[in-house]
A and B are shown apart, each in its own frame.
Chain A
């Protein structure tokens, strides 16, 4: 009984809406051919206009986005300049791009917080790449061996999975207690943040090696060690490079935390120091410097990827 009554209700409510939409539809057709044409034009522009040579129909996201990126960046900076130069926002909260650039030149020439920009940068880069070097040195072989051996996997898996999601700020106090406040603790903090993605990517790379490649190597007389070094390690290289890229990114995000305690120099220290004195222009200049340098290293890593593993994504 109940279901029948609801059905009837549903039918009765359906009818008027149907007729309504029909009349609306007619109205749209009669009154807005221009709007429709406009919509069609925009649709045409947004969708890919044509398939260029060397592209496949249906490949998602195909096309060159670089020009658009240039325009969107310029547009963003223009909006920033507009709202600040017109005085809509207090410079204490957001200084204008021109002010930030002038401050950047000032830091570069005269320094800030007791060191020049180059000194700050070289201190930070030394920490990041020192940590990166050790993270690769330990993480890559360890990740490959963990991928190859169930014993090592059993030993290290819980450790890595436990510490990996911890925020570096959480274990920073421990590291300071253990290692003191010198360079050692700073590099260690960044190193730990970088180690997990490198180990995990190397391990994932091992599983991506095709079993046929391994079997063929064995059938050509390879020992287990030869298979690991000559086939698995090289087959895992694309994934390892991706992991290294991610690790460098983690390094930059951990840098400020590492330079929070007892640093005299460092770009992260500079930003923290400036924020204490409400020097927003220095903070923004520092952030932009970090962002640009991190981006440049990412481009370098992508270039290395193209050179070192040209077969990635092929076949």
Chain B
């Protein structure tokens, strides 16, 4: 049972030519435990993606520390210049799968090739990884598209391949950066349900970024609202709408419940408050 612990983390991007240093994140404290589905919500530029990159190990914190279990995420590889830095230091790794908003599929591989890519990297035998990949492709509804070229698929299908690829690798934690942002409403809803199913089944930690308040409320066990300049967490909510949804399987019913509408209003007013603050400054 691993826990992701973020303590007093700040990220400052150094001044580039003619600019000032930008504080992307300031004093972030966050704990994500097994079975948590944390959704980050906030206006553009509030550091959501920076936070995800930190957890993934793509960037290093300027201050504070991140730990996953006993290891510290430092944003550089465990093996540097042939020296093994040991388990306590790690950059990106197979334990934290990432899905980007715009799919990052490899165009020279077909759908199957992309899905089994992570397993292949880890040296899983061909038959086993094919079987596993096929399982997840079936889960996302792409069982008839194994040998299609990924750049000929629609945006929704590409994103589903991206999700299947991340899941097939069986990470401890799934990091999703607006994975459903570019999709149509129907695909979006079916993928939300799919993600919740996966979450319930596997009890994985998930960190999910979105712009949509409805999506955030429907998915989250914990919702963090972030605010820009400097990027920080301003509010946290513990939510249970996803449990309700998994029971009744009717998103519209959940979304029209009184509690849902009330919470949504509350969050919208926080976000709008941010905006007017920003204009006043």
Q: Which residues of A contact B (CB under 8 A)?
A: 210, 212-213, 215-224, 226, 230-231, 234-235, 237, 309-311, 314-315
Contacts and interface: CB of A to CB of B under 8 A. Distances in A.
Given A218-B91, A221-B122, A311-B151, A212 B104 contact: yes
Chain B CB count within 10 A is highest, among A220, A230, A234, A311, for: A220
Interface stretch (B95-103, B206-214, B220-228): B95-103
Nearest to A224: B77
A223 B118 CA distance: 11
B93 interface: yes
A311 B58 CA distance: 27
12 contacts: A213-B106, A215-B56, A216-B104, A218-B91, A219-B92, A219-B94, A219-B97, A220-B118, A221-B122, A234-B106, A311-B107, A311-B151
A141 B108 CA distance: 19
A216 B171 CA distance: 12
Interface string B138-151: 00000000000101
Chain B CB count within 10 A is highest, among A216, A235, A237, for: A216
Contacts of B57: 218
Contacts of B102: 212
Given A215-B58, A222-B121, 8 more contacts: A213-B106, A215-B100, A216-B98, A218-B57, A223-B121, A230-B121, A231-B106, A311-B149
B269 to A, nearest CB: 34
B96 A219 contact: yes
Contact of B121 (A217, A234, A310, A314): A217
Contacts of B107: 311, 314-315
What are the 3 closest A-B residue pairs judged by CB atoms, nearest first? A221-B94, A220-B118, A311-B107
B169 interface: yes
Contact of B97 (A220, A223, A310, A314): A220
B129 to A, nearest CB: 12
A235 B151 CA distance: 14
Interface in B101-121: 102, 104-108, 117-118, 121
B57 to A, nearest CB: 8
Nearest to A237: B108
B108 A311 contact: yes
Given A215-B92, A219-B93, A210 B169 contact: no
B268 interface: no
Nearest to B78: A223
A314 B108 CA distance: 12
Interface of B: 56-58, 77, 79, 91-94, 96-98, 100, 102, 104-108, 117-118, 121-122, 149, 151-152, 165-166, 169, 171, 175
A213 B100 CA distance: 10
A136 to B, nearest CB: 19
B100 A220 contact: no
Contacts of A210: 104
A19 to B, nearest CB: 53
Nearest to A310: B149
B151 A220 contact: no
A223 B117 CA distance: 13
A215 B166 CA distance: 12
Contact of B169 (A213, A220, A223): A220
Contact of A221 (B104, B149, B169): B169
Nearest to A209: B106
Contact of B151 (A219, A230, A231, A314): A314
Contacts of A220: 94, 97, 117-118, 121, 165-166, 169
Nearest to B105: A213
Nearest to A312: B107
A219 B175 CA distance: 10
A269 B136 CA distance: 63
A17 to B, nearest CB: 47
Contacts of B117: 217, 220, 230
A114 to B, nearest CB: 49
Nearest to B104: A212
A198 to B, nearest CB: 20
Contacts of A226: 121
A211 B58 CA distance: 10
Nearest to A227: B121
A310 B122 CA distance: 28
A218 B118 CA distance: 9
A61 to B, nearest CB: 23
Chain A CB count within 10 A is highest, among B56, B79, B92, for: B92
A222 B104 CA distance: 15
A217 B122 CA distance: 11
A315 B105 CA distance: 11
A218 B92 contact: yes
